[in-house]
Structure 1
Amino acid sequence: MTVFEELKARGLLAQLTDEEEIKELINAGKATFYIGFDPTADSLHVGHFMALCLMKRLQMAGNKPIALIGGGTGMIGDPSGRSDLRTMMTKETIQHNCECFKKQMSRFIEFGEDKALMVNNADWLLDLNYIEFIRDIGVHFSVNRMLTAECYKQRMEKGLSFLEFNYMIMQSYDFLKLYENYGCNMQFGGDDQWSNMLGGTELIRRRLGKDAYAMTITLLLNSEGKKMGKTQKGAVWLDPNKTSPFEFYQYWRNVADADVLKCMRMLTFLPIEQIDEMDKWEGSQLNQAKEILAFELTKLVHGEEEAQTARESARRLFGGAVAGADFEMPTCELEESDFQNGTIDILGILVKAGLTASRSEARRAVEQGGVTVEGEKVADIKAAYSPEKFEGEGIVVRRGKKNYKRVKMGKAG
């Protein structure tokens, strides 16, 4: 199976400018391609995961990836898929985020001479001469055509700023510069980037008379049509300090039955034939598939040792070995200020641990019999605990079947 056939079999391909040309280039290992990442946070998240996996697959097939960090475009903000204006960031914040990105990306792709490159579009965007730019580049863009792009239609309802309106031109210019500077002949991105990517191929054709290609990757959606990678607490991050390896493992372990094999195809490097065999699995076998998915993805992001620890922790947790367990578990540390008159009640514990979003939600969870402390069901919403209860390893609090937190006293000072 060629690399292109495998991408197709895994359900990764969405829209392509020229399927035959793209197929020939990537199968022959002759594509120099880029994917853009705007540094809007100090960590990549699950939304970036598929792009990183694609870069790894194509690099393994001999193609050359360019990770384009949007140090310049990040100061504007991409309106695609948004109904609000992005928060502006300082140059210092953007630089810090870029450094964090490279460290995380190095787990997936190999950087170095003739391998993968990381490039920052701030290098050519921040010193542009405005008059020259709109004369030489802006002349190639039709406002009428730009306004038909889906990303602009969504924002027009609430008000599209001129700042954001420039984003398509900036991204198209990125492709032109990468073509000129590095021979980059292909751009990949999420399916919501299609209009911006076409702008780049058209700009290269108009300015240089050359052909360049674009391909979008299927967005990672669950069976309900919602983007994956979000929890009640927010994004699922690749930084272990933001989302622990155990929490990362549990996110994938808890995907819906209808989503597990799709995620397996799109995100893991398991042979496609092995995954196809799992199509026949049902019932308890689907739980085994979820374990495989969670282990493979945690290994990719955090390494095999962390993946094994997370898997063992989950198995022991859900096997009932909770009280006093000495394995990895998400931990919440209490401070003296959390105690009122020498105690903290169960509602306060649930909120502090992030097991509920509010005291009213915590009250309902207790009243419905869904809360345990050290394996014992808590029936009284007024149940309270003194600081001594949380000394040492603390206590294990559970809400429902799958949400656990170890709660203990933090270190003073």
Structure 2
Amino acid sequence: MTTDQHVLDELEWRGLIAHSTDLDALRAELSEGMVKVYCGFDPTAPSLHMGNLLQILTLKRLQDAGHKPYGLVGGATGMIGDPKETGERQMNSLDTVKQWSANVQSQLERFLSFEGSNAATVVNNYDWTAGLSTIEFLRDIGKHFPINRMLAREVVRSRLESGISYTEFSYVLLQSMDYLNLFRDFGVTLQTGGSDQWGNITAGAELIRRVDGARVNALATPLVTKADGTKFGKTESGTVWLDAEMTSPYAFYQFWLNSDDRDVVDLLKYYTFRSREEIEELARQTEEEPFRRAAQRALADDVTTLVHGHEETERIKAAAAALFGGGDLTDLSSETLGAALREAGSVQVKRADGLPTVVDLLVETGLSASKGAARRTVGEGGAYLNNRRVESPDHVPSEGDLIGGSWLVLRRGKKNLAGVEVVD
């Protein structure tokens, strides 16, 4: 998208508008010229995750349409944490939050443009909160928040019986103050965020109306869930992070590649910049030729390239091909190979104990249920070591078979794969 007057149409088609204070008013303002828009990101972990990525890309879509994005790092709000329905958040130290804030800022800077007339700006709410006295906060901000409205918030109601601290109860005041400061200092008139933040977002717009008598806008994207009802961005091993140290690029790619046919078209709309025509064609292919998984491949390619870069995406695809006999395993870096095999499933054996037979390894990795089954697999020609067929059930891998000095790739048939890591 490059034209202001159509950016809301684009967001609506992509299903990215769950709530809005006044869509008609917002459409008019976006059509009149550059709008300054912000979204906040609390450093409650060392890295941002998939839910945060949706918000970053929403900012990017607005920037591509000519508007100016502000990425707000919650150095202050991250010290408290937004109330959760499940209970109180763990408090992190100031040093931890400062380090995580720096991580969040560097991640934001990878996606937004900092050049041109609508160059992005990153701010930290710790800058205007740290020096604020309690008396000033209560008089200037707290005065404008009726307790009955705060108690009516869904997350507060859900916590009243189990208990909620005054600290978390007051979180909405801090986030609302962010919008007020950005409105006053930078002229920001639009806040975006996830629909789970809608109460906080509208509270900020209301604070500006009460204090300065001005009307500002708010927009929320939907919470992304899978067709089976589970939360998007979670796997059996946990959250999918943007940091390559926390979620390997290979695991990241596989997460998108494994998207359900029922979800993949929506995910293409949310997380890629492919055109309507391209996505509709991929939807057709998913409907008519689902076995080709064209939409999943496009999704995995695009999002992994966005987050980890084109070269890393190509390395991942080369690794996936090589693991299943479509390339030379020795061409892969030990980091990429290790990440791929850990994702596929791997076991460790100690070098000092000596390498077991292929039959033993097939059982240990779970590729075969028993030694008898493993022997039958070898006898039928279905066992592979480093993509070479194993001829004898008594074959023992040698040190020379270790890829990168530590890895063996075992495969049963065409699709069942496991890794063996030899450690000292």
TM-score by length of 1: 0.83
The answer to whether the 8 A contact 2:349-2:421 is kept is: no
Equivalent residue number for residue 321 of structure 2? 315
Deviates more, 1:362-371 or 1:242-251: 362-371
1:169 aligned partner, one-letter code? L
1:326 to 322, 331, 355: 331
2:106 aligned partner, one-letter code? K
1:342 to 353, 357, 361: 353
The answer to whether the 8 A contact 2:36-2:69 is kept is: yes
The answer to whether the 8 A contact 1:393-1:408 is kept is: yes
CA distance in 1, matches of 2:26, 2:259: 33
Equivalent residue number for residue 225 of structure 1? 229
1:86 to 85, 89, 103: 89
1:106 aligned partner, one-letter code? E
* Bigger fraction of residues in helix: 2
2:263 to 252, 259, 274: 259
Deviates more, 1:20-29 or 1:296-305: 20-29
CA distance in 2, matches of 1:183, 1:399: 62
CA distance in 2, matches of 1:345, 1:142: 70
Please state how far the C-alpha of 1:28 moved relative to its aligned partner. Answer: 4.2
CA deviation digits over 1:236-272, x for unaligned, max 9? 1111222222221111001111111110011100101
CA distance in 2, matches of 1:60, 1:313: 34
Change (3 A) 1:398 1:127: farther
3-state secondary structure, aligned to 2:261: coil
3-state secondary structure, aligned to 1:290: helix
Please state how far the C-alpha of 1:17 moved relative to its aligned partner. Answer: 0.2
Please state how far the C-alpha of 1:120 moved relative to its aligned partner. Answer: 0.6
Please state how far the C-alpha of 1:15 moved relative to its aligned partner. Answer: 0.3
The answer to whether the 8 A contact 1:185-1:213 is kept is: yes
Equivalent residue number for residue 76 of structure 2? 72
CA distance in 2, matches of 1:235, 1:377: 37
1:59 aligned partner, one-letter code? Q
Equivalent residue number for residue 408 of structure 1? 421
3-state secondary structure, aligned to 2:218: strand
How many residues of Structure 1 are paired with residues of Structure 2 in the alignment? 390
Change (3 A) 1:311 1:202: same
CA distance in 1, matches of 2:206, 2:127: 22
2:272 aligned partner, one-letter code? T
CA distance in 2, matches of 1:400, 1:46: 34
The answer to whether the 8 A contact 2:319-2:329 is kept is: no
Equivalent residue number for residue 136 of structure 2? 132
The answer to whether the 8 A contact 2:66-2:118 is kept is: no
Please state how far the C-alpha of 1:98 moved relative to its aligned partner. Answer: 1.8
Q: Tell me whether 1:298 sits opposite 2:304 in the alignment.
A: yes
The answer to whether the 8 A contact 1:324-1:395 is kept is: no
Q: Tell me whether 1:192 sits opposite 2:192 in the alignment.
A: no
Please state how far the C-alpha of 1:397 moved relative to its aligned partner. Answer: 4.9
2:91 aligned partner, one-letter code? M
Equivalent residue number for residue 345 of structure 2? none
Deviates more, 1:299-308 or 1:204-213: 299-308
3-state secondary structure, aligned to 2:337: coil
1:258 aligned partner, one-letter code? R
CA deviation digits over 1:80-137, x for unaligned, max 9? 4x41222212222222212222222222101368511111111111222112221221
CA deviation digits over 1:376-400, x for unaligned, max 9? 999xxxxx99988757252125699
Equivalent residue number for residue 107 of structure 1? 110
The answer to whether the 8 A contact 2:38-2:191 is kept is: yes
Change (3 A) 1:286 1:387: closer
2:369 to 367, 370, 383: 367
Name stretches of at least 5 consecutive residues in structure 1 with no aligned partner: 351-361, 379-383
The answer to whether the 8 A contact 1:151-1:192 is kept is: no
* Larger-Rg structure: 2
The answer to whether the 8 A contact 2:323-2:409 is kept is: no
CA distance in 1, matches of 2:271, 2:112: 15
Name stretches of at least 5 consecutive residues in structure 2 with no aligned partner: 343-347, 378-382, 391-395
Equivalent residue number for residue 162 of structure 1? 166
CA deviation digits over 1:141-194, x for unaligned, max 9? 122111221222333343211110011111111111111111111110000001
3-state secondary structure, aligned to 2:304: helix
3-state secondary structure, aligned to 1:87: coil
CA distance in 2, matches of 1:404, 1:129: 60
1:326 aligned partner, one-letter code? D
The answer to whether the 8 A contact 1:343-1:387 is kept is: no
Change (3 A) 1:74 1:366: farther
TM-score by length of 2: 0.81
CA distance in 2, matches of 1:122, 1:41: 17
Identity score, percent: 39
